[in-house]
Structure 1
Amino acid sequence: MLFKDFLWWLLKENRLVNFLYRECFVYLFPVNKQPVSADAGIIDKSSLLSSAGGGKSTRLPAIKGYSSGTTNQPLTVYRSIKSVLLEEYIIKSFYKSIAVPLRPRIAVLRGEQIKVNTDGDGIYWRQQFFSKRLLMSSYHISQSSFRAYLAALETYKPDVIMAYPSAITLLAKFAKGISWQARWKLSAVFTSSESFSKENQQLVREVFGNVFDHYGQAERVAALQQCRQQHYHVREDYSQVEFIEDEHGIRIVGSNLHNKAMVLTRYDTKDYIKGLSLDIACSCGNPAPYVEQILGRDDDYIILPDGSHIGRLDVAFKGITGLVECQLEQRALDSIIVRMVPEKAQDIHVLKAGIADNLRAYLGENVTLVFQVSDEIPRTAAGKFQSVIRSKDIDSA
């Protein structure tokens, strides 16, 4: 672990490499305006999984990576050295645009499972020796532990918090309940890897200040980053991005430009967006196309008995008070498991009734709601929160 931290500091987190990523690497990744031919067919994860070699080029050395497998289809991906450099450049240049210090203090709240707390000491973080990053577990934030997390942040005083949206939203919700705010000079909270609703973003801003979301994926075919106007701009120096409309909305299709170890052309991310602006200038000054919101994958849908697909169900929890978190799981067409974490001293019957009324407006009366009350909702092995889980058996029913 110490050696890995040393390599991280050496290759990613010292002042010299940060300067190179921010100021010099722009010349390695020029914007490519040559459009991908529409004659090329669209591919997706399933086609990669079924192909020999999984899309890997055998002619170049490659660094192996993995998707998190939240869709029950884990994928091995391969990245060239240039692709690895590109990923760091995209993040470090993003930092520069928000005036993050050249050598920032970073707290990380992204799937780090620091320890299993069996001795009751309440410590769920550790500081790296070389990189100085504060790694914080995203698995243990709860009504009994959140004050310790906030105290650790106050002591460390990071310039940047890198977090999963679900983790920082949960911490912000608890913090707001005690009127806590970040009172040191925090440049920004940077989030990625999960859908992040506008309502939750606003909650995090109220507690932590600036929040900027980054959209990407393990296949690295598209990157969109939020500006100060909260628009997600396409990073045109990263890849070529198309927006394809289907019966569910507008989805992101991307072609990588700098990863010859695994060339992906017109790769369907199956992620959907809202509010596409291709030729309307953003007041932030960035001329790149932008979208208003990343909605998430088509796997976030509930399928009704009549075949209807109902997505974006986070709106069903608007106006519900006393709810910490909620997860929906569909194992059958006619029933939904509703897992909920209530706030302390909350009337469970009132909370269930409010959630049921909201869900009925979207799901109708032919779906049975089965409520399960718990102290926490488990994350995936990668530390991510899934708001909707749908059994693959439903798709073939």
Structure 2
Amino acid sequence: MFVKDFLWLLFKENLLINWVYRHLLGSVFPVLQQQVPACDLSNKDTYKTTKLKKPMFSVTGYTSGTTNQPMTVYRSVKSILLEEYMVKTFLALHRVQLKAKIAVLRGDMIKASTDNTPPFWRFAPFTGRVFFSSFHLSPENVPAYLQQLSKEKPDIIMAYPSSITFLAKQAKLLGWVPDWPFSGVFTSSETFTPENQQICREVFGKVFDHYGQAERVAALQQCAFGHYHVREDYSVVEFVDDEHGTKIVGTNAHNSAMPLRRYDTGDYVEGLNKLGNCPCGNHSPYVTRILGRDDDYLILTDGRHIGRMDVAFKGVEGLLECQLVQTDGKTLEVHFVTQPGYSNSQLEQDLAAVLQQRLGDNLQLKFIQQLSIARTKAGKFRSVIRLNVGNSSVSN
């Protein structure tokens, strides 16, 4: 943690680096031409089943998307710089100061999930960031979170939508709001419904969501009016209609380590405006809502809500697909599909280990091997489903 935070300060989070990203890198990433030669949409399954050789001077990442199906992706140095440029300029657009104090609520493992005593946060000594646990959020623990936020007084919070929504709902019940100058909440990595965004705005004021994916073929960011604008300096984005609606298709131009052409993200949108006549002044195309990233959460026996479970499966070898089904308050069914040539028993052990790391012994795990995981009526994959627990719906 100590070394990682120092490197973060050195290369990503200091005044000079922030200024360079905000003011000098624009010429490196110009607006791309909105024309791509016609071709068939990239086949995701090809990339997920083919053993690609890692290019030199690249970084390896993983994606499971909404299928919990790990996919190895490679990122060039330029692609890594571009991703950071997207974040820095997004913050600058919404007038976040260069050296902002940041609280993070994005799934970091702060302590064992079985340890239910504060603190549920840790400090990064060089960058000054405060990392809060997403795995200890419960009605009983929320007052400690809010008290620490009031003590730290961060300028912004970077969070998963599911985590910040749970915190906001509990804060409303307690009548808590930030009592210091607060620039806003910045979210990504999950679907953030308009209803949940409104709940968060009632507590935190400003909320801005970023849409992207590990394949890095499209980026859309919210303006002050809640519209998701296409970042035309990131990639070439198309909106393709099919029987289920309008989906995002992207072509990256800055990732030589893994070029993807007309890649089908599988994510659908609503309210497409290709003219981009938004009152915010941004003239790029925008959508009013992003669909296809719905990921339910689990409710533990002590009341904690655990979302963004797909990250638990990154790097698990032999896993083709995985779906978590909470059938009641105590039982979690783990539906999984094994890749050919891998041991089912070993895969069960590996899955049990990563799940217990995040959930502790709160839920009884029941493993069910399947040939394939059923999709919804709209052809979507639900990575987490709750049955008769809370208010989960499985009809979409």
Give the TM-score of the pair, scaled to structure 1.
Answer: 0.76
What do residues 56-114 of structure 1 show as CA deviations (whole Å, max 9, x unaligned)?
Answer: 674x4211111145413101111111110000111100111100010110100001120
Shift of 1:50: 2.7
- Give the letter for the 2:14 counterpart: N
Q: Distance in 2 between matches of 1:250 and 1:34?
A: 18
Contact 2:161 2:191 in 1 (8 A): yes
Shift of 1:160: 1.0
Shift of 1:45: 2.5
> 2:46 maps to what in 1?
47
Number of corresponding residues: 326
> 1:132 maps to what in 2?
128
> 1:209 maps to what in 2?
205
Q: Distance in 1 between matches of 2:375 and 2:64?
A: 21
Contact 1:110 1:383 in 2 (8 A): no
Q: Distance in 2 between matches of 1:43 and 1:393?
A: 22
Q: Distance in 1 between matches of 2:306 and 2:87?
A: 31
> 1:229 maps to what in 2?
225
Q: Distance in 2 between matches of 1:34 and 1:208?
A: 37
- What are the within-5 Å matches in structure 2 for residues 110-149 of structure 1? 110-116=106-112, 121-149=117-145
- Give the letter for the 2:10 counterpart: L
Contact 2:135 2:306 in 1 (8 A): no
Counterpart among 271, 276, 280 of residue 272 in structure 2? 276
Kindly tell me: are residues 6 and 376 of structure 1, through their superposed partners in 2, closer, same or farther at Cα, counting changes over 3 Å? farther
Contact 1:45 1:75 in 2 (8 A): no
What do residues 325-360 of structure 1 show as CA deviations (whole Å, max 9, x unaligned)?
Answer: 799xxxxxxxxx985xxxxxxxxxxxxxxxxxxxxx
Kindly tell me: are residues 272 and 338 of structure 1, through their superposed partners in 2, closer, same or farther at Cα, counting changes over 3 Å? same
Contact 1:111 1:138 in 2 (8 A): yes
Shift of 1:373: 3.5
Q: Distance in 2 between matches of 1:112 and 1:338?
A: 23
Partner of 2:239: helix, strand, or coil? strand
> 2:95 maps to what in 1?
99
| Identical aligned residues as a percent | 52
Contact 2:108 2:132 in 1 (8 A): yes
Partner of 1:36: helix, strand, or coil? coil
- Give the letter for the 1:12 counterpart: K
Match status 1:187 vs 2:183 = yes
Kindly tell me: are residues 376 and 50 of structure 1, through their superposed partners in 2, closer, same or farther at Cα, counting changes over 3 Å? closer
- Give the letter for the 1:394 counterpart: A
Kindly tell me: are residues 198 and 375 of structure 1, through their superposed partners in 2, closer, same or farther at Cα, counting changes over 3 Å? farther
- What are the within-5 Å matches in structure 2 for residues 140-179 of structure 1? 140-179=136-175
Q: Distance in 2 between matches of 1:326 and 1:124?
A: 14
> 1:306 maps to what in 2?
none
> 2:291 maps to what in 1?
295
> 2:32 maps to what in 1?
32
Runs of 4+ aligned structure 1 residues displaced above 4 Å come to 117-120, 323-327, 374-378, 380-384
> 1:394 maps to what in 2?
374
Q: Which runs of 5+ in 2 are unaligned?
A: 298-302, 308-323, 335-353, 360-367, 377-396
RMSD: 3.1
Partner of 1:394: helix, strand, or coil? coil
Shift of 1:182: 1.3
> 1:9 maps to what in 2?
9
Q: Distance in 2 between matches of 1:383 and 1:282?
A: 42
Kindly tell me: are residues 184 and 70 of structure 1, through their superposed partners in 2, closer, same or farther at Cα, counting changes over 3 Å? same
Partner of 2:259: helix, strand, or coil? coil
Partner of 1:13: helix, strand, or coil? coil
Contact 1:44 1:269 in 2 (8 A): no
Contact 1:175 1:207 in 2 (8 A): yes
Partner of 1:112: helix, strand, or coil? coil
Shift of 1:280: 4.5
Counterpart among 261, 265, 269 of residue 257 in structure 2? 261
Kindly tell me: are residues 150 and 296 of structure 1, through their superposed partners in 2, closer, same or farther at Cα, counting changes over 3 Å? same
- Give the letter for the 2:228 counterpart: Y
Contact 2:113 2:135 in 1 (8 A): no
Q: Distance in 2 between matches of 1:111 and 1:17?
A: 26
Shift of 1:179: 1.1
Contact 1:272 1:294 in 2 (8 A): yes
Q: Which runs of 5+ in 1 are unaligned?
A: 301-312, 315-322, 328-336, 340-369, 385-389
- What are the within-5 Å matches in structure 2 for residues 302-341 of structure 1? none
> 2:339 maps to what in 1?
none
Q: Distance in 2 between matches of 1:262 and 1:204?
A: 36
Q: Distance in 2 between matches of 1:326 and 1:127?
A: 22
Q: Distance in 2 between matches of 1:119 and 1:246?
A: 48
Kindly tell me: are residues 124 and 253 of structure 1, through their superposed partners in 2, closer, same or farther at Cα, counting changes over 3 Å? same
Q: Distance in 1 between matches of 2:306 and 2:263?
A: 32
**Relative contact order (C-alpha < 8 Å, sep 6+): which is higher?**
2
Q: Distance in 2 between matches of 1:252 and 1:120?
A: 41
Kindly tell me: are residues 383 and 20 of structure 1, through their superposed partners in 2, closer, same or farther at Cα, counting changes over 3 Å? farther
Shift of 1:46: 1.1
- Give the letter for the 2:374 counterpart: I
